[in-house]
Amino acid sequence: MTHLIEKIAIAPMLDWSDRHYRYFMRQISQHTTLYTEMVVADAIIHGNRDKLLAFDPSEQPLVLQLGGSDPAKLAHVSKIAYDYGYREINLNCGCPSERVQSGSFGACLMREPDLVADCIKAMQDAVAIPITIKHRIGLDYAYDYAYLSQFVAKIGATGSSKIIVHARNAVLKGLSPKDNRQIPPLRYDMVYQLKQDFPELTVMINGGIKTVTEIEQHLQQVDSVMLGREAYYNPYLFADFDARYYASQAPLKTRKEIALAMLAYLENLLRQGNKLHNATRHMLGLYHGCQHAKLWRQQLTTQLIKSNDLNDYIKLVEYMQE
C-alpha cells in the first residue's frame, strides 16, 4: 500500500478543519494534503455519518483522522471511511485533552504501544489503504528518545510506513490543549533522529512551523512538513506551494480570485438553508498582512453574519486590495 506522496500538509484541527475550511484551502492549493478534524470512532458508528465523513471530491488528497483505541471499532469505521472515498486513514496518538484521555485515546496511547500496534493491524486487515499515526515525541516532562524510538519501531513493525510527529511532549495533566501547543519545548532534533534511525519510514514533522524558510530547513532533515495554526491564520502562505513543492504550472491566484472562487460554494450553502458564516469564518485570514485586512475580518464577522447576503460578500471582495 502506497501512502500519499506529500511534501506539505495541513494538520487536523478540531473545530477548524471542517469541510468548509478544506474547500476554501483547496482554492489556494490543489496539491497540499488536507486532513479532517479528528473524528471519534464511536461517533461514526452511532452518529450522522454524512455530517462526519462526507466531503467534496475537490478536497482530495484528503486524509481522515480517527480517534479511538478499540481495534474492532477502528476496523469497522475504517471500512465505512473507505466506502466514503478516503484513501488514507490516520490514527490520533497525540491529542492531550482530558476529554480525549477519558476515552482512552489520543496522546495517552503512547503509553500503550502494543495496543496502538493492534489497532493499526486491525485497520490494515479491514481495508487495503495506508494506515498512519500522528503522535508526540513523549509524555509529560520526560524526554526519553529511547522510549520514543521503541514506540516508533513497534509501529513500523506493523508495516505502517508513515509517521507524523508533533515535536513537543504532551502534558496529560495540568495543561490545556492550547498550552500543550505552546509550553512544552519544541525538540525538532528528536524528530530528525527518528528519520536517521528509521530511514525506511516517511517522517512528517509538525509543531510551531510558520515560514517557508522553516519549511525548507525541515525538508533537509525529514520527508515532509505539516502546518497547523499558521495555515489557518495565514492561508495565503500556501498560494505558491503547488509550484514550489509540486512543480505545478498553474498560475498563481490572487486573494481576490480566491475569494471570488468561493462564490458558487457560498451560493450553494444558502440554497441548502445554511449560513454563509459556516464557511466565511474560515476565511478571516485570507488578507492577512494586507491593506484593509482588519476591515475584511470585521465585515465577515459583523455585517455578513447579520445580513447573510451574498451581495454583501461580493461588495466586500470588490473593495479589497491585495
Query: Hey, which residues are catalytic here?
Result: 95
Cis amide linkage into residue 61, ω under 30° from 0: yes
Structure-block grid coordinates of residue 122: 486491525
How far, in Å, are 180, 217, 251, 319 from residue 322 at the CA level?
Answer: 35, 29, 16, 10
Structure-block grid coordinates of residue 40: 471519534
- CB within 8 Å of 132: residues ≥ 6 apart: 3, 63, 88, 89, 90, 91, 160, 161, 162, 163, 164
Q: Would you say 62 and 36 are in contact if contact means Cβ atoms under 8 Å apart?
A: yes
Q: Would you say 123 and 91 are in contact if contact means Cβ atoms under 8 Å apart?
A: yes
DSSP letters of 188-234?
Answer: HHHHHHHHHH-TTSEEEEESS--SHHHHHHHHTTSSEEEE-HHHHH-
CA 131 to chain centre: 15
The sign of the CA dihedral 16, 20, 25, 28 is: negative
Supply angle C-alpha 6, 112, 226, rounded to 5.
Answer: 20
Q: Rounded to the nearest 10 degrees, how much is the dihedral formed by the CA atoms of 29, 297, 277, 99?
A: 80
The sign of the CA dihedral 242, 248, 251, 257 is: negative
